[in-house]
Every structure is written in structure tokens, then in C-alpha cells.
Structure 1
Amino acid sequence: MNKTMENMNASPSPARWFRVLRRSMAGESPIRKSFTSSLCEEILKNSQEAFSSGRTKSYPFRLKQLQAMVNLLDKHELEFVAALEKDMHKPKFETILSEITTVRNEAIYAMNNLEQWMTPEPIQKSMTSFLDSCFVKKEPVGVVLIIGGWSLPVQLCLIPMIGAMAAGNTVVLKLSETCSHTADLLQTLLPLHLDNNCYQLVCGEHTELLEILEHKFDHVFYIGDHVTGKQVMQAAAKHMTPVTLVLGGKNPCYVDKSCDLAVTARRIAWARFINAGQNSLAPEYILCHLDIRDALIHELQMCIHEFYGENPQESQNYGRMASVDQYRRVKDFLLCGQVVFGGQTDENDRYIAPTVLIDVKESDPVMKDEILGPVLPIFTVESLEKAIQFINKRERPLAIYVFSHNPQVISEVLDNTCSGSFCSNDSMVQSLYTRLPCGGVGNSGVGIYGGKFSFDAFSHSRACLLRNTAIECVTYLRYPPYAEKQLRLMQWATSISRTNKWCHIL
């Protein structure tokens, strides 16, 4: 740690220079563009040199950096609480659970399992390899670019970073400026705790992100919207760079007649309105039978009153939109259908009340774009089959939710739909399980991460075969000149049977 601090004082990292200079510049685009481009090259060069040195590959180094991440979170917890309160009016309770505890758990889980993950995995042998050593070795891919999300600005930056660190990579972390106080805090604290040469930070607008993507990385990880996701994939394709994209989507929530409406409403309302609805895993719309719609709406309204009081704007437990642009985008959704309750807004406070909509058309904007705000449309369907059809005629979502006391109903939806994740009788809690992956499918993303899945995402599975010359008396059969007898013997030795394994034959 002392050596790291000495290095920082003697030669500030490019990430720190980027922060200082960017704030002091007048803002003329030609100078700024040139500076950003050259800085990206310098950061990438430093990251490549750090990786080539091999320092990130050892178990002690990885363990030390993961422990440093835990120390950072423990020591500066209240500073993150204050930063997120300024950015999003986020309650301390939500910050500690969704931003601090989840990241801390991820780091500790990686520490507890890192040695096992790094151990080469032996494979089942065949007749042709029974004297050989065959295994799969997990190796770091190199320099990883992580483009963090803004809706959960600590969690969505640091959880993928932990996976890349555990896998032995160097990391360039691109922070979003949407939550500026949190971004500033991360830019200040991460260099104080982590190795500055191996883990570097940049922060900038969308145009600067596109400029960063012009450079070649070994893996690109992105959490965000579909438009930028396509740009990330196109830029990565120029360099044949593998990508992981978590893009969100329209997460349906089917409410069956058999469910407990009071519990169902409480769990849906919590997931939809926590963090002022700014969560890609939250239910995006409800599907239910007309017979229970009004009762469900009543229960949802009771939950809002229970959670946030008569006026949620005065509640210390309710957040705000992360930016004015985000506020205006979500406010436009209130023009769709009919507001049943909620709908109050205040641009100066970036406040949008918890809102439920009915009579929404499938073609309305609120059903085309990811909401990322406290707005919940409700649709009525005649049957479970109609609900499944409604879900399947849309792009595959990041998550699907079902509330029912009937296991057959849950199985029907699970077996006849496709999504990144699935949860019955609750919402969003699947993301709390470190042993479950997070990620989308189709339009909602490419690849998965979280726990061991992050380690695998940022690792190359290297096939390794260590042979000797002791069985040349058998392997000579493969050499020319060929003969029919050789072919039959080689087929017998190498073919796979469904009934008899090679060891049974021996």
C-alpha cells in the first residue's frame, strides 16, 4: 500500500490526470478530442504493460486486490451513502443493501472460491488419452474495458470489475457521469486502494465512450441501453473483441387468480418503486385477469401509502430520477393510457410519484422502451395462454415474473417462455444470489456475469494436453501409409459408444 501511494505521488495515474484536466479545460472540442484520444492510448498501453508483466496472474495478488475492495467498501460506506443521497435522494437503507452489501458479498464470495476457480479442471479421459494429462486451464484474457451502468452506479461498476480482477485481468473502468457525486467518489477512492497500474478509471460523455471504443481491448463489458449496446458491439467487432452486454428489456409480470394479492402487491411495488424504479430487473408491466385487476390496483395503492406515506415526495424512503434527462424521458410515459394513481411530478426535484397506468396500448412508448422509472402499466388478459402469447410476441426480456399458488401455472410460464432469468412469487431477488448468473438473452443481452460466471466470462478456457512418447506402439496406427486394418483399429479406439465406455471394453 505504501509503495502504491509513493507511486501515485511521484507519477499521478492517467485516470487522475484525466479527472483533473478534464474539469480545468475550457471545453473546446478539438483540443479535448485530441487529449482524450492520446490519453486513451496511454491508459491502454499502461494496462497492456501491466498485464504483460504477469503481476495480475498470481493468486496472492488477486486475493490482495479483492481484499482491498472489501476494505474500501467497509471504510467508506457512509461516504457512498452521502454521494448517492445527493445524486438520487437514495435512502441509506437502499444504498447499503443494493450498492454496498451486494458488492461486498461478491468480493468475499470470489475470495472464498478463487483458489478453486483457478485450479485446472481435469476432464474425463478416453482410450486414446488414458496415459495423458488432460485439463482445462482458466487464464485471464488481458485488458478488460468495463462500461458501468448508472442506475446502480456502485454495484453495476464494481461487481463486473470484481469478476475481471478475480480472473487475473487488468481493467479500464469507464464510469457514467449521470451520478456525478458517486463517480467522483469512485475516482477518488479506487486509486487509493487498488493497484493503479492494473486498474484504471476514465469518466466521460457518450462521444468520449465512442472514442474509447476505437481502441482494441481484449474484452468489453457493457451495462446500459440498446442503442449504445449496438454501438459497443459494432465497435468491438472491428477488433474481433468478445463482448458481454446487459441491456435490459420489458420484464413481464403475470399475476394469477390463485395468488395472495396483498403479498403479491407488496413484492411487486417494492421491486418497481425501489430506487425510484431505476432498475433493469424490475417488473415493466403486469398481466392479470380483469376479475382481479381492480383489487390488485387497490392493494398496490395501499402498499405505496404503507411504504412512502400520503405524499412520497416528502418521504425519506423514496428516491429521485438520476438526471433531468431521465426525469423528462420517464415523465413522457405518463401520457400513455390512464393514470389510476400517482402521476405527480416536480422537475426541480426530479420527482415522479409511484404511478400505475391502465388502458395502455401495446404500441405506446411506455411499452416500447425500458421504463427505468416509477411507472407500472397493467394489462388484462383472458387466460394464462393469452398471457404467454402476449409475452412471446415481444423481444426476450431480462426477467419474467409469475405470482401464483398453482405450481402448474408457474411451470407453464417457465417452460413456454424465454428470458435472462425467471422468478416466481417475488421480484428481483434472484439478483441477490451470488451463485445465480445475471444476464440477458436475445434483445436483452449477450453473456452472463456474477460470481463464478463473472470469473468465467473474463477468462479463456485453455485446452491443455500433456503427452509422452510411451504409447507410440499404438499411436503409430495414424501414420501413412494407410491400411484398412489401421482404420478399423483407430475407429475402435476413438469412437464413442452410448452403451459401453472405453474402460468397460478394457
Structure 2
Amino acid sequence: MTAIQQIVENQRAFYSNGNTRDYQTRKATLEKLKKMLKKYEHDIYKALRTDLNKSEQETYTTELGFLYAEIDFTLKHLLDWMEPKKVNAPITHKGTKNYIVSEPYGVSLIISPWNYPLQLALAPAVGALAAGNCVVIKPSEHSSATSSLLARMIARTFDPSFITVVEGEKETNQELLRQRFDYIFFTGSTEVGKIVMRQASEHLTPVTLELGGKSPAIVDKDANINLAAKRIVWGKFTNAGQTCVAPDYIYVHDSVKFKLLKAMKKYIKSFYGKEPLQNSNYTRIINASHFDRIIGYLSDGTVLHGGNFDRQSLMIEPSILDKISWDDHVMQEEIFGPVLPVLSFTNVEEAVEMISKQEKPLALYYFGENNKTQEQVIQYLSFGGGSINDTIFHLANPHLPFGGVGNSGMGQYHGKSSFETFSHQKSILKQSTKFDVPFRYPGSKIGKAVIKRIMN
């Protein structure tokens, strides 16, 4: 038996013994998780600085603060979520009590990416633990400092038969996916998501896939251009564009294009300085492979702003590309970096029609003041989730489920949705023994007539 097989077997035994299911255990586990993050907060800042050059402010805002809020929200509502939910019944079920029990799946696997290496490993784990599961976390090997720290923190805080971290390269992922888990939660690329789903099908294991795609930011002629520019720049260049819901391209009305681009340049300088490559708090690209891929996009169209990079520090300036067509390489795949192509349209119907022909994105952002047009965009276009007159801020609301559709993923999490994702909804009917209705049984002379009358 391999080490990974042993981990899964130990967790299955731990779960089967009922060690994870009662409310007090779940509550104590989440409290311990938060206490662990507080204890190692300084080390977390250091690890994320090493991996991505993240500032303490950005680390707190996008990683730690998010996790604290998620844990607190879950603790506040957990008891209510765990309660069996009573449901109504038709007259044919008179005398019965009907309810739904949220049952943990068992042993869950969470495969997390490198771009938010702490948050995207532990946010799903919050839901899995709240639902009463055991958890195996496989962090990305590309964010090695955070991965190593996560493994140490978890090992020093929890029994590995309950929660553990497995580090390793591609081969480790492959061996993990060969195991029989009860649930798999994957965050990453669409290509790898397909592999995860194929492997999960071997055991009919349910999966959540949080993927990506080319998320558009539509800027209409009646938009508040100054705020649109400010919020797009913030949403796109946070984490140097290495965010699954970052605006991947701008689709702007011809009449306001010049004004928008001018305002965006202003905010790039305001946020990152005149020389972003010299900004000690500007996030770097995760590795040389991604760096080379991203700078390749700079040869498309015309570089309207930025375009400089430093291979030694793996930094690329916030860059805007103009004179882009749908056939350019930069429009064929998710950018996942600080390069923002700009296309224009003459009427919003044209923009909506063109976007509808692409793969369904993880997010969509519309900037405009007309309520009717806002609703038309929401109703006509399919996307995971999004914002009107803002970018990426919808992720911070635990009442909103987060997830993709089509090529951008399946399943949802955050807040109650995380609990529900890692819970099987078990339907229960409790029948009365005080009386027995005879017409449902074979041989009843009036059975068919009574059933037809009741069911009609």
C-alpha cells in the first residue's frame, strides 16, 4: 500500500467511526482552523511574498481576510444549516413526516491552484469540514513556499486522519485521482478539469470544478467612465491579473473608448506608480513558463500602455492592448496575467451577440446606467456570476454562490453553498403506524378510483 493509499484508508476509518459529524466537533474544528491562521499569520505573509511578491495588504484582503470572514460566517450559521429541513407532502402522504438531512459525503479531496494558494486551498475546506467530511488537500507545487507552510500548519494542528496536506508534482495528483474519494473539489484550468472529471467517473465520484475562461468587461456609452476605469483596473491587475475572475478583455462602446482608456492609464499610475516594475508591492508572475506565455501576448495589436517586463523578477507591467481583433492569439485563451486587450462595439446588442458565441465565462461585468439594458445582458448571456458597475466584488459576499457554467466549471461554493456542496441531501419519509390507508395496495376495489381522484 502506497503512502497516499494509506492516507485515504486512515481517513475513511476515521470518518466511519463517526469522529467528524456532531455539531460540537465541526464547530471546534473551524475555530481551531481560524486560530491556526492567526498563529501563523506572519509566516503566511512571508510565504506569499516569496511565491508571488504579495504585499501584506493584498495578502490580507484576498487571502487571510477572506478566510476569516468565511469561517466566521460558517460558524454563525452552521447549527441552522445542520438542522433537518421539514418539507410539505401531498394529500396522498397524509400521516407522514417528510424532511431532508444534510449528510457528509465522507473523505473529500481538494486540489487547489497557485494563484491564491492559501485561500483556494482552505475556503473549500471550510465547507467540507462544516459539512462533516475528512479532507485531503493537494496544493499547487508552483507556489511551493505557501504549499510547504500549509502542510506544516495543518500537520501541527490536526490529526492527519482528519485533515492532511499532500504535497507533490503532477505524479502526486495522478495517484490521488486514482483513489476512491467520496467527493473531489478542483480549482484550476479547464484542460486539467476535464482530466479530473474523467478520473472521477471511474468511481462515479461527484465533483465540483472551478475553472476559468475569458471574462468580459462591457463598458456601455452611458457608463460612469471614471468609476468603470478605476474598478476595471483594480479587478484586472490585482495579483498581476492572476485571478480566475479578472476581466480578461474590455468590450467598450466606440463613443467612450478614448475617455475610458485615458482614465485607465491614470489609475494604473495611481495604483502602481509610474514604474510598476520598481514597485516593491507589485505582484510577480508565478514562474518563467507563465511569464513567457504572457509576454507573448504583447506582440498582438498595439501596446497602448505598459508593455515593459523584467525576466529576472518575473514582473510584467499592467499593459493595455489596442487594435485587437477576435482572431488574435490573445483572444483565444484565458490570459491570466496583467495584459488587457480592448475591443469596441457600436451598439450593445452587437457586443452581446458576439460574447454569446464564445465559451461561457466564469464572470461577466457590465458598466452602464440603464436598468433595462443591465437586465437584458444578465438574461441573454450565460456566465458563472458577475457584477453590474463593478468587478470581482461579488466574490466577497458569502450569501452569493460562486461557480462556473459550461467550460468555466460546474458546482458552486462560498457560505451556505460550500456546506451544501460537500453534503448529500438525504430525503426521509417517516410513516405513521397509527393507521394504514388500504387503497394503495393490490386488490383494493376502490383503489384506482380513489387514487385518480386524489392525484387529480
Using the size of structure 1 for normalisation, the TM-score is 0.88
Residue equivalent to 2:72: 108
Residue equivalent to 1:206: 170
Aligned-residue sequence identity (percent) comes to 36
Contact in 2 for aligned 1:287/1:380 (Cα 8 Å): yes
Residue equivalent to 1:413: 377
Match of 1:289 among 244, 250, 253: 253
Residue equivalent to 1:324: 288
Kindly provide the amino acid, as one letter, of the partner of residue 415 in structure 1: Q
Q: What does 1:206-285 align with in structure 2 at a 5 Å threshold?
A: 206-285=170-249
Q: What does 1:316-465 align with in structure 2 at a 5 Å threshold?
A: 316-465=280-429
In structure 1, C-alpha distance between the alignment counterparts of 2:232 and 2:452, rounded to whole Å: 59
Kindly provide the amino acid, as one letter, of the partner of residue 136 in structure 1: I
Contact in 2 for aligned 1:337/1:360 (Cα 8 Å): yes
Match of 1:487 among 435, 448, 455: 448
Equivalent position SS for 2:116 = coil
User: How far 1:116 moved relative to its partner?
Assistant: 0.5
Q: Deviations over 1:234-266 (max 9, x none)?
A: 000111111100111110111011112111101
Larger radius of gyration: 1
Matched, 1:166 2:130: yes
Residue equivalent to 1:118: 82
In structure 1, C-alpha distance between the alignment counterparts of 2:9 and 2:293, rounded to whole Å: 39
Kindly provide the amino acid, as one letter, of the partner of residue 363 in structure 1: D
Kindly provide the amino acid, as one letter, of the partner of residue 439 in structure 2: L
User: How far 1:194 moved relative to its partner?
Assistant: 2.5
Q: Deviations over 1:334-357 (max 9, x none)?
A: 122111111111111001000001
Residue equivalent to 1:21: none
Q: Deviations over 1:145-189 (max 9, x none)?
A: 100121101110000000000000001111111111111111111
Q: What does 1:32-111 align with in structure 2 at a 5 Å threshold?
A: 38-111=2-75
Matched, 1:137 2:98: no
Contact in 2 for aligned 1:213/1:236 (Cα 8 Å): yes
Kindly provide the amino acid, as one letter, of the partner of residue 16 in structure 2: S
In structure 1, C-alpha distance between the alignment counterparts of 2:272 and 2:400, rounded to whole Å: 31
Using the size of structure 2 for normalisation, the TM-score is 0.98
Equivalent position SS for 1:56 = coil
Kindly provide the amino acid, as one letter, of the partner of residue 120 in structure 1: P
Residue equivalent to 1:478: 440
Matched, 1:312 2:276: yes
Contact in 1 for aligned 2:12/2:107 (Cα 8 Å): yes
Contact in 2 for aligned 1:403/1:425 (Cα 8 Å): yes
In structure 2, C-alpha distance between the alignment counterparts of 1:48 and 1:486, rounded to whole Å: 48
Residue equivalent to 1:189: 153
In structure 2, C-alpha distance between the alignment counterparts of 1:354 and 1:436, rounded to whole Å: 30
Kindly provide the amino acid, as one letter, of the partner of residue 333 in structure 2: D
Which structure dedicates a bigger proportion of its chain to helix? 1
User: How far 1:316 moved relative to its partner?
Assistant: 3.0
User: How far 1:86 moved relative to its partner?
Assistant: 1.1
Equivalent position SS for 2:334 = coil
In structure 2, C-alpha distance between the alignment counterparts of 1:236 and 1:435, rounded to whole Å: 29
User: How far 1:129 moved relative to its partner?
Assistant: 2.6
Kindly provide the amino acid, as one letter, of the partner of residue 142 in structure 2: T
Equivalent position SS for 2:178 = coil
In structure 2, C-alpha distance between the alignment counterparts of 1:337 and 1:115, rounded to whole Å: 55
User: How far 1:373 moved relative to its partner?
Assistant: 0.5
Kindly provide the amino acid, as one letter, of the partner of residue 94 in structure 1: E
Kindly provide the amino acid, as one letter, of the partner of residue 493 in structure 1: I
User: How far 1:364 moved relative to its partner?
Assistant: 2.3
Equivalent position SS for 1:203 = coil
User: How far 1:453 moved relative to its partner?
Assistant: 0.4
In structure 1, C-alpha distance between the alignment counterparts of 2:330 and 2:309, rounded to whole Å: 17
Q: Deviations over 1:64-123 (max 9, x none)?
A: 110011111222212111111111111111100110010111111111111101100000
User: How far 1:482 moved relative to its partner?
Assistant: 4.8
User: How far 1:195 moved relative to its partner?
Assistant: 3.1
Q: Deviations over 1:184-204 (max 9, x none)?
A: 111111122233211111111
| Count of residues in correspondence between the two structures | 456
Contact in 1 for aligned 2:108/2:183 (Cα 8 Å): yes
Equivalent position SS for 2:366 = strand
Kindly provide the amino acid, as one letter, of the partner of residue 303 in structure 2: V
Contact in 1 for aligned 2:277/2:309 (Cα 8 Å): no
Equivalent position SS for 1:213 = helix
Contact in 2 for aligned 1:77/1:96 (Cα 8 Å): no
Equivalent position SS for 1:356 = strand
Contact in 2 for aligned 1:137/1:462 (Cα 8 Å): yes
In structure 2, C-alpha distance between the alignment counterparts of 1:161 and 1:371, rounded to whole Å: 28
Contact in 2 for aligned 1:65/1:195 (Cα 8 Å): no
Contact in 1 for aligned 2:29/2:129 (Cα 8 Å): yes
Matched, 1:468 2:414: no
